[in-house]
Amino acid sequence: MTSLKTLLTLAALVTVLCFNKSTLAEPLSIGEDIPYSVLVDVKGAFTFAQAEQALRYDTRKQQATLSRGYTRDTFWLRFELTQTVFNQKERWLELGPNFVDDIQLFFREKGSDVPWQSRQTGDLLNSVSDLDYRNPVFLLPAPSASTDGYEVIMRVRSTSTVILAATVWTPEEFLGYATRSTSFWSFYFGLAALSSLLALVLAVMLRTHLLWTATAFSVAYVFVASIQGYVNWIFPSTAIPLQHYATSALVLISFAVLMWMSSETINLRKHLPWAHKILMMACGVTLSLLVLIPLDQYELAIKIKTIILLMTYTLFIYSVFHIWVRDKFPLSTLGLGISPMLCMIASLFGIFSAFGWIPFYQQVYVIWQYVLVENMLLVLAISVYRIRKVKQEEFERQKLANDLEAEREASFNQRQFMGTVSHEFRTPLAIISAALENLRLSECEVESSRLARYQKIARASERLIQLTDNCLADARLSADATALYLEPTDLMRLLVSAASLVQVSDTHQLMLTVNGRATAAEGFNCQVLVDSAMMRIAISNVIDNAVKYSNGGEIRIDCSLSDATVSILICDQGTGIGNLDSDGLFQRYRRGNSSKHGTGLGLFVAQQIAYASGGNLKLVSSSAQGSCFEFTLEQAAEGLTSDEQT
């Protein structure tokens, strides 16, 4: 950014030095300072003698630069350069602009009968000149003292816009002006080349649309070089008039690229895709007009291009303000659109001047050429800003990904640790349970106080075993590569085994039913497709919750059978789960509001086991009269053979 600011400062300084009014020489301008008569030759059939005779008696004078727009008419001009213009010294006549096809100059001393001297120059003639300079310059010797100066006739015709900017200089003033002008344009094209090279390098490295448009926009500098006469000056002796065709083609290409760059500058591709598509189609149509140049239809191409530009520029300005309002007036949006807008407005003034819709002024004619560099530098600045922003967002995304990976790894290590610890606890707990069972069986007195203590220790041991089973199941379910081993399992045996794990207390009664009817355990055979060990943990977790959160009463397990699934409803007569939503209840380490103990892992593990088995676990109801949870499991292929099925 610092380098861009430095370049802009230097450009401003050079502009001030080269174009400050106080430092510029003031030549005499044909039109503003020296009036002329003009004859319009519509068919281009007049000979010099005919035109000279008609102009000699034309007293109507014009005092503005000749600017007639795109026309195939031929224009004859007549003006006089008096002795006061020469002051007995040689004068230099500079003609322009460089894109005029054919300018023929005739002059002789006023009132004499000597033959007319003639010179011819123009874009198609590689800008013939008496001086080696980028603009045609002709030497006019000081007239003899016996005459009143020169009478001059000029013929102008062109396939491009008809403009004639002719100025009369003293040699000293012209040399000073030419030196300053050449210095400025050397700096201009040096800055243009540097910015173009920078855009190309960044485009190749970063491959963004905006940088590619900045690179393509470099053709505008070649266009400027053409209309400033540098092409013919550098390549003066070519069989093909390069400057003539380069000017015609590059004006179309430059405006097409400007539309593309304008779209990319405010990122219409993202904000208003339909507007971006319209601008891209306008670019394509503008480029297709190139085929009209070799067909000698350049005037038609320019008229079509102007219509397209007026529509697309209006669309672009609308898009900038639409995005600005829609995004709640961010100044960045308006700022990004300002530079293309300035370039568009400046180019429109140039177009209007070329068509003759507004008077021709040299300042208006060249101001948009200065805006080109400013636009390029601003686009590069925008690109650097966007790239910096993207890099920063990428860094933040990478940081977030690293944090998530660290959290994932920490969670994995935590589960692995819990699994390892739980696995190590399982063996000593099994030994404790076996030893307690031996002590209980060896007790002779049924009413012994030791027996009651043994039962309390056994229940505490079962709680620890259940907790370790849940931790092991959680670790197993969290492993990506782990799958349950599903096999046909007897449902009633599974339910009885799961209920025995939680040691139903003396204050609770377990009721098994099928379709609401009481059923003995050996009365039916229903096979479900589950991992028996894991499903036993899941069902025991729900039954254990029913025991823990109800002071007593009935715990009912009802099985409902269908063609392919089994529904297991486990209901208690507790106080319910409070106001915790059912989804939150099944999250890891979440507990109901009425819970005073527990890890919050049981229901989470139970639901995950049900999911892994192809089934589901959900909360059916919860109130102050109790809660009901429902397992849905898949029946095994063997199906159901039961005397109790109704």
> How high is the pLDDT of residue 121?
92
Residues 185, 113 share a domain: no
On whether both 392 and 298 belong to a single domain, the answer is yes
Q: Is the domain of 63 the same as that of 165? A: yes
Query: In this predicted structure, what is the pLDDT of residue 405?
Result: 84
The answer on 591 and 517 residing in a single domain is yes
- Asked, for residue 108, whether it belongs to a domain, the answer is yes
Pairing, β 37-41 against β 91-94: unpaired
In whole angstroms, give the CA distance from residue 434 to residue 429. Answer: 9
Residue 408, in any domain of the structure = no
Q: Evaluate the CA torsion angle 518, 523, 529, 534 in order and state its sign.
A: positive
Based on the fold, state whether residues 124 and 35 are members of the same structural domain: yes
Enter the pTM of the model.
Answer: 0.61
Question: 């006023």: which residue's tokens?
Answer: 110
Whether 59 is in a domain gets the answer yes
CA dihedral 202, 208, 210, 214 (to 10 degrees): 30
Query: How, if at all, do strands 161-164 and 37-41 pair?
Result: unpaired
**In this structure, what are the phi and psi dihedrals at residue 219, rounded to the nearest 5 degrees?**
-65, -25
Does any domain span residue 509? Answer: yes
Domain containing residue 502: CATH number: 3.30.565.10
Tokens of residue 41, six digits: 């030759």
Same domain, yes or no: 165 and 184: no
139 and 186 inside one domain:
no
**Residue in this structure with the two tokens 């401003």, named with its chain if needed:** 12
307: domain CATH number is 1.20.1070
Taking only the tens place, the pLDDT of each residue in 150-208 is 999 999 999 889 999 999 999 999 999 999 989 989 988 988 888 888 888 888 887 88
Q: Are residues 383 and 247 in the same domain?
A: yes
Give the whole-angstrom CA distance, residue 112 versus residue 160: 36
57 SS3 class? coil
472 within some domain: no
Taking the chain, what is the end-to-end CA distance rounded to the nearest angstrom?
84
pLDDT, one tens digit per residue, over 496-550 is 888 876 666 667 788 888 887 776 655 667 888 898 888 888 888 888 888 887 8
pLDDT in tens, 440-467: 767 666 666 777 777 777 777 776 776 7
Residue 207 CA to residue 125 CA, distance in Å, equals 42
Q: Among 378, 397, 416, which residue terminates a domain?
A: 397
Distance of CA 119 to the CA centre of its chain: 56
Number of domains in the chain: 3
Contact 600, 589 (CB under 8 A): yes
Enclosing domain of residue 601: 483-642
In this structure, is the dihedral angle defined by the CA atoms of residues 394, 396, 402 and 404, taken in order, positive or negative?
negative
Nearest-angstrom CA–CA distance, 476 and 156: 93
Query: Does residue 164 form part of some domain?
Result: yes
Residue in this structure with the two tokens 């009132």, named with its chain if needed: 111
Taking 70 as the pLDDT cut, the residues of the chain under it are: 1-25, 364-365, 411-427, 429-431, 433-434, 437, 441, 443-448, 463, 466, 469-470, 472-483, 501-506, 519-524, 579-583, 589-600, 638-646
**18 domain-assigned:** no
The DSSP H or E segment spanning 629 is strand 626-642
Q: Is the peptide bond before 330 cis (omega within 30 degrees of 0)?
A: no
Sign of CA dihedral 475, 477, 478, 482: positive
Same domain for 141 and 115 = yes
**Whether residues 500 and 618 fall in one domain:** yes
Last-in-domain residue among 336, 363, 397: 397
Around 487, how many Cα atoms within 13 Å sit in the side-chain half-sphere? 7
Asked if the structure places residue 446 within a domain, the reply is no
Nearest C-alpha neighbor of 272 from the set 329, 225, 326: 326
Domain stop point among 397, 416, 433: 397
If asked whether residues 67 and 86 sit together in one domain, one would say yes
Q: Are 536 and 497 within 8 A, CB to CB?
A: yes
Burial 180-219 (b: 16+ CB within 10 A, else e): bbeebbebbbebbeebbebbbebbeebebebbbbbbbbbb
- Largest distance between two CA atoms of the chain: 158
In this structure, are residues 531 and 613 in contact, taking their beta carbons and an 8 Å threshold? Answer: yes
The total of other beta-carbon atoms located within 10 Å of residue 363's CB is: 8
| CATH number, domain with residue 76 | 2.60.40.2380
Going by C-beta distance under 8 Å and a sequence separation of 6 or more, which residues neighbour residue 258?
217, 220, 340, 343, 344, 347
pLDDT value at position 267? 86
- Dist. CA 254–CA 247, nearest whole Å: 10
The SS3 assignment for 238 reads: coil
Instruction: Say whether both 145 and 197 belong to one domain.
Output: no
